[in-house]
Amino acid sequence: MKKWVYFFGVGKAEGDGTWREVLGGKGAGLAEMTRIGLPVPAGFTISTEACDYYYKNGKKFPPELKKQLVDNVAKLEKVTKKKLGDPKAPLLVSVRSGSARSMPGMMETILNLGLNDRSVQGLAGSTKNERFAYDAYRRFVQMYSTVVMEMPKEDLEHRLRAMKERVGVKEDTAVPASGWKELVAEYKAYFKQKTGQDFPDDPMEQLWGAIGAVFGSWMAEKAVTYRRVEKITGLLGTAVNVVQMVYGNTGENSGTGVCFTRNPSTGEKEFYGDYLVNAQGEDVVAGIRTPMHLKEMAKAMPKVYGQLEKVRVRLEKHYRDMQDMEFTVEEGTLYMLQTRTGKRTPTAAFRMGVDMADEKLITKEEAIQRIQPADIERLFYPVIDAKVDRKSLTGKIITHGIDAVPGAAVGKVVFSAHDAESWAAKGEKVVLVRRETSPEDVGGMAVAQGILTATGGKTSHAAVVARGWGKCCIVGAEKLQIDYAAKTMTAGGKTVKEGEWITLDGGEGVVYEGDMPLVVPSLPKSYEILMKWADGVRRLGVRTNADTPQDARKAREFGAEGIGLCRTEHMFFTDFEHPEKSHDRQRAIQEMILADTKEARVKALDKLLPFQRRDFIGIFKAMDGFPVTIRLIDPPLHEFVPHERKKQEELAKELHLDVEVVAQRVRQLHESNPMLGHRGCRLSITYPEILEMQVRAIIEAALECKKQGVKVLPEIMHPLTLDRKEMQILEQATRKVADELIKKSGTKLEYLVGTMIELPRAALLAAEIAEVAEFFSFGTNDLTQTTMGLSRDDAGRFLPDYVDEKKAGVFTADPFQSLDIKGVGMLMRWGIERGRSTRPKLKVGICGEHGGDADSVKFCHEIGMDYVSSSPFRVPISRLAAAQAVIEDKAKAKNK
């Protein structure tokens, strides 16, 4: 018989910490903590496989589950010596979700399950606290109504507020037992009115309802959104953890907290966390009250704190990673409710990785494996420019809050996640301001520059989610008055309306009015150390896509070892070193396009030559001996001429042409499918003089640099080729110009001539093309477009449906972001194999956007490329992913 339920308690557990796929992260953590003897309340876990079964079978539970549930409840009753629904010693349980990958706050939880009119008296009797028992009861009815029956939260909250007014108290803690009793009756009456049924009295019925609700929450909008944003795929579902309740809200000697074995913001080795006295379960995470720091707890409850500190040391050693733990103190006794590998900022990830490797807790390779490549980008957190006058800054302070996630953010204020999403879709930068955030808000949080909440601590929902993303976040700005209806926020005598700019300083926890200039800080020491380790491990070379000397220099700082793609046409419109000369360049290229004879074209190209030569000299110098791949003109010519009448008139005047001639030429250049039209090397086939000018500029620049003692390695690249004969014409034309110049100079200069592989035909015929090309560079932007028949410019309109789990879910990621390994990857693998069959030493790289995407880089490693090339800021991602690919290879070989 298939096992669906796994028990843990009194030092024994079915399963352990490695069973995450089946027990979920929470279940596996509880099992493991039980096994190693930590104080964990007993319980059992219904597996993720049961959730998978539930969805595959029209939302029906597996038939064997019933008996297994009854058996496990009986077992739990035995070890706890309490009984579900018992009028004297009732067993109460919590029912919580937990999938194999942590999704903080995205799914449902029900506490105090097992209470009814009889067992509540048992609870009141055994705790000698009637007030507490009825508070627990009303919390249960409230949670059950909203979570299981999906009744509106506000309807219940409203009754709670009305009751408090009637009783004449402000704080929940001041409500007497009679108040809670009344409220339970009211909730139940409302339940009946809404659902037509009585509130379920039978604990087993309650339990089945709760299990169904937890399974249901797996496919709730917010959970699906979170998985999409976090790119979590391939999980079976959520497990359900049914655990004996312990209470943090029985009085001043009780409480509940969340803590981390190291500081999740900075990575420092210090015990870090929040504790809330006399509070239950989710109060800390929900951020309803602002909690105390662990240091204060150490003073208030030294004995329990000492125990907790021991657990901290034990768990970190055991898991060999930073742990995020939840605990409850019931009448001075410590209970561990959860442990999981903690989320951390990118800075903290580097610091912990290097520290733990130094402490010999983990190996250097493990430290490298633990960095999420995409997180590196977030290391380059912006901060408010130090040049901003501090005095004027002080005058702009709106309010202070808790510095939950560092970095600074600037944006226009919006007050709902929905507005954040719609404004961001229009290209606006927004800061999301909420009283508190809830999992429904993740979509808006993801697109916001920063997040500000009026309540909550460092472990509140907003803080945890934002930290995972490395997004600037301030919480607990308690002086902030937010008026959702009027769309304003007020503090310190300042009122900010929707759409007005604010600046958050997440490092200091300060909110300013206005949009401050931000700068990117220098990197932590541990970053340099760890990246050096990664460079020592990787096999792939890492180059950059850079079109200007400035970008090339930046990329060198990020560790680029050459240029994999210099798009020459980007220099046609802008002179990056002498912007005032941009106009001359534009006119020269436009004159070339408008020319109707070869002579006229050559004349215009001659004007462009010195500009290009100067650019190339700058780039060669910046790369100082590293290879530089320069691609000849690629886009269709219509992109370089004006389409509006007024601009055409200006151009005609400057070039002494009739405006009709200009307009006529622009019309001629129009194509229905420009991406599949007269572009790429096809331009050089039609107008060889363009190729000649560009090759001349490259070789003359290289010779000039050589003369100045700069080592140069030019690689001349033809885009969009599709045939051996075509490539041969280009190669011969290139060599003719280059060799003549080199010969004339009397020096030696090595250079390569190669091609991009951007069309399926080129990949298919790679063996032939490699006969005349010395290198291949996969242009996977176009190769994705042409293989999949998806327009790289317009597919964004419908691609989201293709990656949405709830809609088509055809792809797990946008194929323009992360390589379609199955299809496009098959062509790449074939292209490399076939290319090297005729030219064994064929140099192969990639220069599409995928060169900066970690999964794609790993694939490039697997198929034997020589290097990847990515935009400057993503060079470190490529370096790290390349190292991880080697480490993963080793692990695979070992497992074989």
Which parts of this chain interact with Mg ion (CB under 5 A)?
758, 779, 782
* CB 565 to Mg ion: min, Å: 9
Which residue lies nearer to Mg ion by CB, 720 or 854?
Answer: 720
**Residue 338 φ/ψ, nearest 5 degrees:** -165, 145
SS3 category, 374: helix
| Distance (Å, whole) CA 596 – CA 665 | 9
Which residue lies nearer to ligand PEP by CB, 637 or 847?
Answer: 847
779 part of the interface to ligand PEP, by CB under 6 A = yes
551 part of the interface to ligand PEP, by CB under 6 A = no
Cα–Cα distances (Å) from 832 to 539, 561, 764, 836, in that order, read 17, 22, 10, 6
- Spatial contact of 109 and 281, defined as CB atoms under 8 Å apart: yes
Which residue lies nearer to ligand PEP by CB, 346 or 848?
Answer: 848
Which residue lies nearer to ligand PEP by CB, 335 or 778?
Answer: 778
Distance of alpha carbon 631 from the chain centroid: 32
The interface with ligand PEP within residues 618-677 (CB under 6 A) comprises 634
Which residue lies nearer to ligand PEP by CB, 491 or 875?
Answer: 875
Crossing angle between the packed helical segments 119-127 and 130-143, to the nearest 10 degrees: 140
| Distance (Å, whole) CA 158 – CA 152 | 10
| Distance (Å, whole) CA 239 – CA 6 | 11
CB atoms within 10 A of CB 58: 6
Copy the structure tokens of residue 518. Answer: 């931000």
DSSP letter, residue 144: I
For 677-715, give one letter per residue: b (16+ CB within 10 A) or e: eebbbbbbbebbbbbbbbbbbbbbbbbbbbeeebebbbb
Q: Which of 60, 101, 362 is closest to 211 using CA atoms? A: 60
* CB 855 to ligand PEP: min, Å: 17
Copy the structure tokens of residue 489. Answer: 């926020």
Of 370, 567, 585, 696, which one interacts with ligand PEP (CB under 6 A)? Answer: 567
In the shown chain, the binding pattern of residues 741 to 770 toward ligand PEP, with x for contact by CB under 6 A and - for none, equals: -----------------x------------
Q: Which residues pair with 563 in a beta bridge?
A: 544, 628
Total binding residues toward ligand PEP, as defined by CB under 6 A: 10
Distance of alpha carbon 711 from the chain centroid: 40
Which residue lies nearer to Mg ion by CB, 782 or 866?
Answer: 782
* CB 799 to ligand PEP: min, Å: 17
| Distance (Å, whole) CA 870 – CA 880 | 13
Of 689, 782, 820, 866, which one interacts with ligand PEP (CB under 6 A)? Answer: 782
* CB 427 to Mg ion: min, Å: 25
* CB 242 to Mg ion: min, Å: 55
DSSP-derived secondary structure for 17-62: TT-HHHHHHHHHHHHHHHHTT-----EEEE-HHHHHHHHHTTS---
- Spatial contact of 274 and 259, defined as CB atoms under 8 Å apart: yes
* CB 514 to ligand PEP: min, Å: 37
* CB 719 to ligand PEP: min, Å: 7
* CB 758 to ligand PEP: min, Å: 5
| Distance (Å, whole) CA 733 – CA 740 | 11
Which residue lies nearer to ligand PEP by CB, 430 or 565?
Answer: 565
Which residue lies nearer to ligand PEP by CB, 214 or 762?
Answer: 762
| Distance (Å, whole) CA 151 – CA 10 | 37
Stretch that binds ligand PEP, among 200-208, 291-299, 709-717, 776-784 (CB under 6 A): 776-784
Which residue lies nearer to ligand PEP by CB, 358 or 793?
Answer: 793
Residue 491 interface partner, choices Mg ion, ligand PEP, none, CB cut-off 5-8 Å depending on type: none
564 part of the interface to ligand PEP, by CB under 6 A = no
- Spatial contact of 292 and 372, defined as CB atoms under 8 Å apart: no
Helix/strand/coil percentages in the chain, nearest 5: 50, 15, 35
Residue 15 interface partner, choices Mg ion, ligand PEP, none, CB cut-off 5-8 Å depending on type: none
* CB 781 to ligand PEP: min, Å: 3
Which residue lies nearer to Mg ion by CB, 344 or 718?
Answer: 718
Task: Give the start-end residues of each E strand in 26-163.
Answer: 43-46, 83-84, 90-91, 93-99, 109-113
In the shown chain, the binding pattern of residues 842 to 861 toward ligand PEP, with x for contact by CB under 6 A and - for none, equals: -----xx-------------
Stretch that binds ligand PEP, among 62-70, 446-454, 618-626, 779-787 (CB under 6 A): 779-787
Stretch that binds ligand PEP, among 309-317, 373-381, 606-614, 778-786 (CB under 6 A): 778-786
Q: Which of 522, 508, 521, 432 is closest to 469 using CA atoms? A: 432
Q: Which residues contact 894 (CB under 8 A, 6 or more apart)?
A: none
Of 781, 812, 817, 838, which one interacts with ligand PEP (CB under 6 A)? Answer: 781
Which residue lies nearer to Mg ion by CB, 641 or 759?
Answer: 759
* CB 719 to Mg ion: min, Å: 6
565 part of the interface to ligand PEP, by CB under 6 A = yes
Which residue lies nearer to Mg ion by CB, 367 or 757?
Answer: 757
| Distance (Å, whole) CA 158 – CA 324 | 34
Residue 443 interface partner, choices Mg ion, ligand PEP, none, CB cut-off 5-8 Å depending on type: none
Half-sphere exposure of 571 (CA within 13 A, CB side): 29
Residue 456 interface partner, choices Mg ion, ligand PEP, none, CB cut-off 5-8 Å depending on type: none
The residues assigned a catalytic role are 461, 847
838 part of the interface to ligand PEP, by CB under 6 A = no
**Structural element, H or E, at residue 304:** helix 302-319
Which residue lies nearer to ligand PEP by CB, 28 or 565?
Answer: 565
Residue of this chain nearest to Mg ion (CB atom): 782
Half-sphere exposure of 805 (CA within 13 A, CB side): 18
Of 734, 780, 818, 870, which one interacts with ligand PEP (CB under 6 A)? Answer: 780
* CB 871 to Mg ion: min, Å: 14
**Residue 764 φ/ψ, nearest 5 degrees:** -65, -40
Amino acid at 661: V
**Structural element, H or E, at residue 628:** strand 627-631
Residue 847 interface partner, choices ligand PEP, Mg ion, none, CB cut-off 5-8 Å depending on type: ligand PEP
Q: Which residues contact 585 (CB under 8 A, 6 or more apart)?
A: 571, 572, 573, 574, 575, 608, 611
Cα–Cα distances (Å) from 15 to 19, 27, 129, 302, in that order, read 6, 9, 37, 34
What secondary structure, in 3-state letters, does 145-173 show?
HHHHCCCCHHHHHHHHHHHHHHHCCCCHH
Stretch that binds ligand PEP, among 268-276, 354-362, 411-419, 774-782 (CB under 6 A): 774-782
What are the residues binding ligand PEP (CB under 6 A)? 565, 567, 634, 758, 779-782, 847-848
